[in-house]
Amino acid sequence: QKEVEQNSGPLSVPEGAIASLNCTYSDRGSQSFFWYRQYSGKSPELIMFIYSNGDKEDGRFTAQLNKASQYVSLLIRDSQPSDSATYLCAVKEFDNFNKFYFGSGTKLNVKP
């Protein structure tokens, strides 16, 4: 069973702080890694994806990947109340149909 693990939270941070979201995965054959944001009642929205070890930055968001530790994280700098949502970690497998497996998500609350 391929697993993607996330702390369900909620993770509460004050406005302007750095929010750190973490994800571990079980399958070493995983190819690409994604972070999605999902607001309540809405569908997921792609924020970042990464496939090489190290950091990848896009605006206030930084994705970090450590394949040796099977660990991927998302940092949100200068957190805003509008960042309050559930963040889903997803892993792409390199099998016949390149399936994407999702973690259960971490709920982030950014307090004004």
Partner 1 sequence: GAVVSQHPSWVICKSGTSVKIECRSLDFQATTMFWYRQFPKQSLMLMATSNEGSKATYEQGVEKDKFLINHASLTLSTLTVTSAHPEDSSFYICSASEGQGFNEKLFFGSGTQLSVL
Binding site for partner 1 (CB under 8 A): 31-32, 34, 36, 41-46, 49, 51, 88, 90, 92, 97-105
Smallest gap from Cβ 100 to partner 1, in A, equals 5
Nearer to partner 1, 19 or 47 (CB): 47
Of 42 and 111, nearer to partner 1 (C-beta) is 42
Shortest approach of partner 1 to residue 92 CB, angstroms? 7
Q: Taking a C-beta distance cutoff of 8 angstroms, is the pair 50, 32 a contact?
A: yes
Q: Which is nearer to partner 1, 60 or 92 (CB)?
A: 92
Q: What is the per-residue DSSP string for 5-17?
A: E-----EEEETTS
Q: Least CB distance from residue 16 to partner 1, whole Å? A: 28
- Smaller CB distance to partner 1: residue 17 or 92? 92
Please calculate the CA angle 31-4-82 and round it to the nearest 5 degrees.
100
From start to end of the chain, where are the E strands?
4-5, 11-14, 19-25, 32-38, 45-50, 54-58, 61-66, 71-76, 85-92, 100-102, 106-111
